[in-house]
Amino acid sequence: MNTPLLNTQPSCDDDFDPASLTCAEALAQISAQIRPIEDLEQVALRSALGRVLGAPVISRINVPGHINSAMDGYAVRAEDIPVDGIASLKVAGSSFAGRPWLEPLTAGSAVRIMTGAVVPEGADTILPQEQVEAGDGQIRLDGRHKRGQHVRAAGEDIAIGDEVLCKGQFVNPAELGLLASLGIPEVTVIRRPRVAFFSTGDELRSLGETLRPGDVHDSNRYTLHGMLTRIGAEMIDMGVVVDDPEALAAAFARASKVADVVITSGGVSVGEADYTREILTRLGQVHFWKIAMKPGRPLAFGHLGKALFFGLPGNPVSVMVTFYEFVQPALRRLMGLEPAPRILLKARTVGELKKRPGRIEFQRGILHQSADGALEVRATGDQGSGILSSMVQANCFIVLDMDTGKVPAGSLVEVELFNGLVQGFC
Ligand code: AMP
Ligand code: MG
């Protein structure tokens, strides 16, 4: 006899839900909705670190500015190098970095020169000091040297009129140095995205508040603060909003007036007190709200007026995973950056990985290189979406695709290394 089945709805515990988008579909929908910010600002060079250039940078100078020496030694005319035998040249003077020898080099003489110093007019070749004999105001040289050796041409690195950095370039320390080498004190950058965010939930207590039974400290605003800081967003932290439709609607309205992007956490699933999707439908537009992924299936994406809206799930790991996979690329696009190439490495899993087919999983993993140089990964243990310590231990996501089931130990799996957004420099 067949056991009768209740007429139920897909829940977070189900692995397949036909109403869910794949991650690729969700990313494509998000990307299609974003218009990069075009507002520009001028900032002092140091403040350009972590910003995106709003205009190309054209060099007005040559770098290096003059022909200079690549070695400590002697600047000579190639004609004075003997074809065979030994020749002597008189040392006429010296050219140090910052203290050039200003007279032209005459036939039969040499100028003592240090690395980076200007090569005097008439000289075209540098003899390394180790390859000559020096004494009594003279040097003795043989025929081993080649015309033009150890000379750095003016403009060898950058020439006048070169486009050295293009619009949309992210400014890292190397770009700062390059801009400084061109003598550029201020640069044009794209305005930072303004992101308003708040946590939702009656159980959430701010730091310093006493926890009653069932309460938790609001941690999502802190992980969001960290990731938004790293990405270089301007933040508007709106605190905690209780599970009350009117309070939430008021917060949504306020946030959408001041921000390019509104991010909430919690209240996006289908519980009695989960109002996010309903309010977004009422005040704006919902583009989608379910992705076939774990953790993080309920994720409402839409618009609130002109602002983009991300209603992230409440669970702390889900917040980090969905931010990493969806909000980060969206903010990058908004900032005028090209999508970062998503680099997945193959590593051997040390233990068995639990998984059921139906949705993509981002398990937290620890990647390391074994003694023989092979990449190995192990899961951090319990993969519950509330276990934030798994994100602390992990240095990568083990990405298991929709169709994958249980993965035996020793199999090759794909891992996505955390970039500087989640894990800095250690
Ligand atoms: P929700 O999506 O609102 O049903 O929340 C799912 C789970 O995440 C619940 O156990 C919440 O208590 C927890 N949670 C929601 N928001 C936060 C937050 N800001 N900080 C820490 N835990 C949270
Ligand atoms: Mg809640």
Mean pLDDT of 155-174: 95
The amino acid sitting at 33 is Q
Lowest mean pLDDT among 166-175, 214-223, 309-318, 340-349: 340-349
pLDDT higher than threshold 60 for residue 324: yes
pLDDT higher than threshold 60 for residue 426: no
- Tell me which fold the domain 68-152 belongs to: Molybdopterin biosynthesis moeA protein; domain 3 (2.170.190)
pLDDT higher than threshold 70 for residue 14: yes
CATH number of 345-421: 2.40.340.10
pLDDT higher than threshold 70 for residue 11: no
SS (H, E, C) 117-159: CECCCCCCEEEEHHHCEEECCEEEECCCCCCCCCEECCCCCEC
Q: Which atom of ligand 1 is least distant from the CA of 271? A: 4
Taken as a whole, the chain contains a residue count of 426
Mean pLDDT of 287-301: 94
Mean pLDDT of 121-142: 97
* pLDDT for the residue numbered 191: 98
For residue range 19-60, list pLDDT tens digits in order.
899 999 999 999 999 999 999 999 999 999 999 999 999 999
Ligand 1 in contact with 243 (CB < 6 A)?
no
Distance 273 CA to ligand 2 centre (A): 7
Distance 312 CA to ligand 2 centre (A): 11
Lowest mean pLDDT among 11-15, 68-72, 328-332, 397-401: 11-15
* pLDDT for the residue numbered 422: 85
Mean pLDDT of 163-185: 96
Mean pLDDT of 145-154: 97
- Homologous superfamily in CATH for domain 23-39+191-334: MoaB/Mog-like domain (3.40.980.10)
- For residue 10, what pLDDT band results from cuts at 50, 70 and 90? low
Ligand 1 in contact with 203 (CB < 6 A)?
yes
Ligand 1 in contact with 269 (CB < 6 A)?
yes
Measured from the alpha carbon of residue 386, the closest ligand is 1
Ligand 1 in contact with 296 (CB < 6 A)?
no
- For residue 270, what pLDDT band results from cuts at 50, 70 and 90? confident
Closest CA to ligand 1's atom 6: 314
Q: Where are the domains of the chain?
A: 23-39+191-334, 40-63+156-190, 68-152, 345-421
Q: How far apart are CA 298 and CA 315, in angstroms?
A: 11
Q: How far apart are CA 73 and CA 227, in angstroms?
A: 52
List Cβ neighbours of 234 (8 Å cut-off, separation of 6 or more).
Answer: 192, 193, 194, 195
> DSSP per residue over 275-333, as a string?
-HHHHHHHHSEEEEEEBSEES--EEEEEEETTEEEEEE-SSHHHHHHHIIIIIHHHHHH
Ligand 1 in contact with 313 (CB < 6 A)?
yes
Ligand 1 in contact with 298 (CB < 6 A)?
no
Nearest to 420 by CA among 360, 297, 332: 332
What is the chain's mean pLDDT, rounded? 95
List Cβ neighbours of 52 (8 Å cut-off, separation of 6 or more).
Answer: 168, 169, 170, 171, 189, 190, 335, 336, 337
As assigned by CATH, the class of the 40-63+156-190 domain is alpha beta
Q: Which atom of ligand 1 is least distant from the CA of 265? A: 16
pLDDT higher than threshold 70 for residue 370: yes
Distance 419 CA to ligand 2 centre (A): 29
Q: Which atom of ligand 1 is least distant from the CA of 274? A: 3
CB 308 within 8 A of CB 330: yes
* pLDDT for the residue numbered 7: 74
For residue range 92-121, list pLDDT tens digits in order.
999 999 999 999 999 999 999 999 999 999
